């Protein structure tokens, strides 16, 4: 089977812990990736968060790096890891390069930014990120920034003037706008600023799990009507309001979305290496076949499963990049 995932934090883990993409105890590594006929991953350059006290001595915290140097540090990690894995993984910047990677048998990597505050506060910072290969920006993370307010803080506070300027700048460069983490007000601000399709790379249904990070039915409908894309997040607190989840909990969210607007709008945004609670049976990328097997056993068509796992995201990137 093939697999296309819209969001992971593996490069951030490599940056702070000194681990390497090729071989590690993280959710994503070469051995796990090579279980798939073709694998495509959006690797997030995360804006950073302070680790738990128990982890501080094991990490070199990105937030201890001066603000203007954080993006460069994350990009250097990406460049180092991609170079060390060039035998099986290639950085892509466009749909055309994605096609070439698939035809050559190499896994494809795209770069995103999670939390636009990672961009240095200087003119030309977005162009620097673009030139380095970044093609998607998640507008906010879980803290207020100069660009806007996240859902975790206040759903009624939206984009700042800087955030509005950023949306326009992303549009002008044909970069993908990601509304995961963004407040409800910020979501609708984005809708008023662009006519293009946009994405929620790692969000689930708020109708099924009332977590502020999840999408309302109205938000999903807006993304669907624009021809956008939503990535199903496997983090347990976004699936259920309890401490454990199972594969069927993720499938409930998949069914909620595809039941509303068809199968083409839903993909995977697993949040690997950005979360520590996954459904029982999923310990990382290499276990995703279990979700596919479970869906097929429940009677989902192979076309539906292939769309979720790969085809929908592939077609979207081909159209947009």
For the stretch 117-133, pLDDT in tens is 999 999 999 999 999 99
Burial of residue 48 (CB within 10 Å: 0-12, 13-18, 19+) is buried
* Mean per-residue pLDDT, 211-235: 98
The full DSSP string for 93-132 is: -SHHHHHHHHHHT-EEEEEEEESGGGS-SSTTHHHHHHHT
**Confidence class for position 252, pLDDT limits 50, 70, 90:** very high
Measure CA 57 to chain center: 28
Average pLDDT over residues 157-168: 98
Q: Where are the beta strands (DSSP E) in the chain?
A: 3-8, 39-46, 89-91, 107-114, 134-138, 176-178, 199-200, 229-232, 266-268
Say what the pLDDT of residue 56 is.
Answer: 77
Q: With beta carbons less than 8 A apart as the criterion, state whether 8 and 77 touch.
A: no
Q: Render 208-220 in DSSP notation, one character per residue.
A: TS--TTSBPHHHH
pLDDT reported for residue 54: 75
pLDDT value at residue 36 = 98
Backbone angles phi, psi at 137, to 5 degrees: -130, 120
pTM flag (> 0.85)? yes
* The pLDDT of residue 111: 99
pLDDT (tens digit, 9 = 90+) per residue, 48-87? 999 887 787 889 999 999 999 999 999 999 999 999 999 9
pLDDT number for residue 57: 80
Instruction: Report pLDDT for 55.
Output: 83
- Phi, psi angle pair for 276, to nearest 5°: -120, 10
Query: What's residue 118's pLDDT?
Result: 98
pLDDT on residue 31: 98
CA distances, 132 to each of 6, 79, 112, 120 (Å): 19, 9, 11, 14
Sorted by where each starts, the structural domains of the chain and their CATH numbers stand as 3-320 (3.20.20.140)
And the tokens for 81? 């890891």
Residue pair 8/272 in contact (Cβ under 8 Å)? The answer is: yes
Cβ-proximal residues to 71 (8 Å cutoff; 6+ apart), any chain: 45, 113, 118, 119, 120, 125, 128, 129
88: DSSP letter:
T
Q: Give the confidence band of 262 by pLDDT, cuts at 50, 70, 90.
A: confident
- What does the alpha-carbon distance between residue 10 and residue 41 come to, in Å, rounded to a whole number? 10
**pLDDT surpasses 80 at 91:** yes
In this prediction, residues 4-10 reach a mean pLDDT of 98
- Direct distance between the N- and C-terminal alpha carbons of the chain, in angstroms, rounded to an integer: 24
Distance CA 68, CA 120 (A): 5
- How sure is the predictor about 297, in pLDDT bands with cuts at 50, 70 and 90? very high
Residue 305: CB partners within 8 Å, gap ≥ 6?
292, 295, 296
Surface-to-core class of residue 217, CB atoms within 10 Å of its CB (0-12 exposed, 13-18 middle, 19+ buried): middle
Q: What is the pLDDT of residue 58?
A: 84
Q: What is the mean pLDDT of the chain?
A: 97
Kindly report, residue by residue over 168-221, the tens digit of the pLDDT. 999 999 999 999 999 999 999 999 999 999 999 999 999 999 999 999 999 999
d(CA 308, CA 3): 9
Q: What b/e sequence results for 1-29 when a residue is b if at least 16 CB atoms lie within 10 Å of its CB, and e otherwise? A: bebbbbbbbbbbbbbbbebbbbebebbbb
- What are residue 256's DSSP bridge partners? none
């Amino acid at each position: 089977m093939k697999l296309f995932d819209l969001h992971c934090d593996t490069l951030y883990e490599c940056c702070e812990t000194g681990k390497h993409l090729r071989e590690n105890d993280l959710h994503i590594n070469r051995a796990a990736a090579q279980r798939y006929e073709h694998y495509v991953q959006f690797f997030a350059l995360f804006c950073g968060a302070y680790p738990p006290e128990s982890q501080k001595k094991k990490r070199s915290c990105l937030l201890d790096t001066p603000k203007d140097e954080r993006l460069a540090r994350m990009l250097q990690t990406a460049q180092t890891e991609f170079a060390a894995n060039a035998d099986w993984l290639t950085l892509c910047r466009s749909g055309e390069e994605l096609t070439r990677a698939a035809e050559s048998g190499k896994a494809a990597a795209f770069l995103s930014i999670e939390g636009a505050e990672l961009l240095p506060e200087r003119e030309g910072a977005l162009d620097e990120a673009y030139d380095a290969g970044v093609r998607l920006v998640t507008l906010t993370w879980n803290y207020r920034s100069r660009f806007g307010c996240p859902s975790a803080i206040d759903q009624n506070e939206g984009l700042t003037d800087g955030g509005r300027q950023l949306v326009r700048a992303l549009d002008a460069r044909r970069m993908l706008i990601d509304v995961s983490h963004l407040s409800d007000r910020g979501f609708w601000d984005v809708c008023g600023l662009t006519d293009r399709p946009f994405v929620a790379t790692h969000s689930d249904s708020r109708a099924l799990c009332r977590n502020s990070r999840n999408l309302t039915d109205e938000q999903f409908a807006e993304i669907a009507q624009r021809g956008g894309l939503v990535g199903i997040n496997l983090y347990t607190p976004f699936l259920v309001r309890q401490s454990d989840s199972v594969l069927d909990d993720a499938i409930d969210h998949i069914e909620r979305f595809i039941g509303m607007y068809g199968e083409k709008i839903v993909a995977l945004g697993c949040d690997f290496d950005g979360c520590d609670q996954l459904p029982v049976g999923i310990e990382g990328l290499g276990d995703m076949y279990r979700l596919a097997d479970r869906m097929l056993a429940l009677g989902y068509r192979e076309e539906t499963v292939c769309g979720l796992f790969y085809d929908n995201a592939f077609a979207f990137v081909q159209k947009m990049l």
